[in-house]
Structure 1
Amino acid sequence: MSVTSRPAHYGFAEHWLPRLVLAPSFLLVLVFLYGFIAWNGALSFTASRLLPNYEWVGLAQYEALFASERWWVAVHNLFIFGVLFIGGAMVVGIVLAILLDQKIRLEGALRTIYLYPLALSFIVTGTAWGWMLNPGLGLEKLMHDWGYAGFSFDWLVNPDRSIYTIVIAGIWQSSGFVMALFLAGLRGIDDSIIKAAQIDGASLPRIYWRIILPAMRPVFFSTLMILAHIAIKSFDLVMALTGGGPGFSSDLPATFMYQMAFTRGQMGLGAASAMMMLVTVSAVVVPYLYSELRRSRHV
């Protein structure tokens, strides 16, 4: 049957069937994602406490949020965690990717070992590292049992150091993911570039630093966006490892929001903090989406 002689119902099905199939998913996303975002935004302007209360209070919840010492501790911790987590995971992941790119023996086994932490949830990672860093149970006790009585590593219970234990666990969890992304990028580089540079007398470290890594800017940018998103919304790792403590010394905005909305009965304040997190995530994701759309138009 020719195209021109197809039945009329065929064109109708071809045009509307994909839309009908996608409609339920679209409606679910519209209601349970964007609808709840809008509802959360509305609650942030109300006097909601243990239950939703639609008494309009304007910017009172945001004023209370910015006046909260605990909120600013969480923001400061997010800055520390974000910089060290993103930087550490990038450095470790790139180094591992470069080492594996040398086509060493047992590459498949090593790649699996490095990627294994990615298969674990942050809850499992936080619990395991909580055991290892517990002064009475993990590394410090092990060193004492070996005879190093003066060894001390009490960061987990030290309010000034607890946030760095989250950084350690986060880097361990995510560096394998960064390695996989950069290894895929490195395998896409033409070997003739490296050989030509070596003929010109360039050493292998200089080749990677001056030629290979600068050519991987899209991988850098994508990895940075993903890690920044993970850092901003980190919740389960903190709750499993430190619970936000000691006190609230290792709080992050996500744990602050949870404590306010679901533990302390201050739903309006928790909604306001969630909206601030949304603004922060948008500040990271929107420029990335804009650059991707702009790049696709020029291709």
Structure 2
Amino acid sequence: MYAFTYERPATQADAAKLAKAGGKLLAGGQTLLASMKLRLAAPEQLVDLGAIPELAGIRREGGQLVIGAMTRHADVAASAEVRSAIPALAQLASLIGDKQVRHMGTLGGSVANNDPAADYPAALLALGATIHTTDRQIKADDFFQGLFATALEEGELITAVSFPIPKRAAYAKFAQPASRFALVGVFVAQSDGGVRVAVTGGGNGVFRHAGMEAALAQNFSADAVKGVATDESQMSSDLHGSSAYRAHLVGVMAGRAVAQALA
């Protein structure tokens, strides 16, 4: 690693000041620390968010489930509040990486990083979540902007994510065996406002599947998505799977997610 200074603020306000001054925010460190070890990233100052209690926690506010940015994946998976309000979100968190990753990685870190194969972005997009920052509130539809790209401004800090509680929802993932990232993952959610379907792992970032949303709005069943095609040109292709294979997996995972939601 390169030399850097290390700060561990105790309040959100102090962290925001350091971030505005150019400090690199450290949440769970699952991507950043690995990048630094490989010398792909060389921040001059790290701002560790792990000592700020106000950034963690899970609570229900009316029809919303609010989860602090520094809440660990393992805590989301184990939370009785999450399991009661949005069981699909707890199940998604339980599928992230391995035990070590789940006990270190955070919701806010995953969302801010926006890895194209990460699980949480699919949940945020399908549930119509809102990302709360030190400066504003951003709808998930406006937040994710492609490969590792988000609407966050320099120095802007995610503080929490609020999830509308759906009628039913489920997440199905075909995991890459070594990393446990999604080769393809599909999150399906049905609410009073309609059906939303989000796909991760398949392309250059999480995206909504308009064709499946339309089909499921007419008939919320696994059969409804069987004949819905996924544009192969939207899918990535690598040593783990071709674009055609990933396009096929989208339909398979969507069908499984709908069946889970109805179970």
Q: Shorter chain as normaliser: what TM range?
A: under 0.3
- Whichever structure has more helix as a proportion of its residues is 1
Q: Which has the larger radius of gyration?
A: 1
Q: Tell which has more relative contact order, 1 or 2 (C-alpha 8 A, sep 6+).
A: 1
With the length of structure 2 as denominator, give the TM-score of the two structures.
Answer: 0.24
- Whichever structure has more strand as a proportion of its residues is 2
